[in-house]
């Protein structure tokens, strides 16, 4: 227990908390050296006080994004418990800084059996709804689920908007896609705006 306490203090020391008076927001930020940081922004007033917004200013491996977010959640729980309990959603926004999530997006659509890779659209219905439907059951949020569970929060895909379609060969992670049989000329969903719904569970369900 003592070791865990020391670890938590070290992690808290890495999180910067800034109150923005003009916009009534609190920003929690973890820096990766001088050139890169990840932040969560929480509004202190309605109507947005139930939503946290994640931002990165560089590309980060998913494992690092989850580690930094875990540190931020630890800090929010300890320094702003009411803010933490009020959270109902995390707005990840565009996935430009999360290449592994972008790769998952391509693979879930291509593997759905409902995606037309020549036309770059679902065989029927809308692209946002297709992506959201398959994201719920494809392991799209793997890693996120475990991280939030440690804080007593269950998650699900809350919404998908503005899916962008591009040729797979133009994407910086195409080598990985090619290993899964994705051709360079396939038109695939490459990024989107992502909402993660947060469902607070009983404290006894937390993982330590």
Domain 2-97+127-166+193-205: CATH class, spelled out: alpha beta
User: Token pair of 38, please?
Assistant: 């990840």
Beta strands in 74-147 (DSSP E): 89-93, 115-116, 121-122
The residue extents of the domains of the chain are 2-97+127-166+193-205
DSSP-based three-state secondary structure for 132:
helix
CA distance 158 to 96: 19
Q: Mean pLDDT in runs of 10 for the chain (208 residues)?
A: 40 78 93 88 90 94 95 94 94 92 94 93 92 87 96 95 96 96 96 96 58
* pLDDT at position 25: 93
What predicted TM-score, i.e. pTM, was given to this entire model?
A: 0.87
Name the residue among 179, 14, 195, 175 with its Cα closest to residue 99. Answer: 175
CA distance 114 to 110: 8
């Amino acid at each position: 227990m003592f070791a865990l306490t020391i670890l938590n203090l070290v992690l808290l020391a890495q999180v910067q908390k800034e109150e923005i008076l003009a916009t009534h927001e609190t920003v929690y930020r973890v820096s990766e050296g001088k050139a890169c940081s990840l932040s969560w922004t929480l509004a202190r007033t309605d109507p947005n006080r139930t939503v946290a917004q994640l931002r990165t200013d560089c590309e980060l491996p998913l494992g690092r994004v989850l580690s930094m977010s875990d540190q931020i959640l630890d800090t929010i729980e300890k320094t702003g418990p009411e803010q933490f309990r009020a959270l109902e959603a995390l707005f990840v926004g565009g996935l430009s800084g999360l290449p592994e999530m972008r790769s998952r997006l391509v693979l879930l659509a291509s593997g759905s059996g409902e995606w037309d890779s020549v036309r770059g659209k679902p065989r029927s219905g809308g692209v946002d709804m297709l992506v959201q439907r398959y994201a719920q059951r494809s392991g799209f949020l793997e890693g996120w689920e475990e991280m939030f569970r440690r804080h007593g929060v269950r998650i699900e895909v809350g919404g998908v908007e503005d899916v962008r379609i591009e040729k797979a060969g133009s994407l910086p992670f195409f080598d990985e896609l090619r290993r899964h049989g994705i051709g360079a000329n396939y038109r695939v969903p490459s990024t989107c705006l992502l909402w993660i719904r947060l469902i607070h569970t009983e404290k006894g369900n937390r993982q330590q």
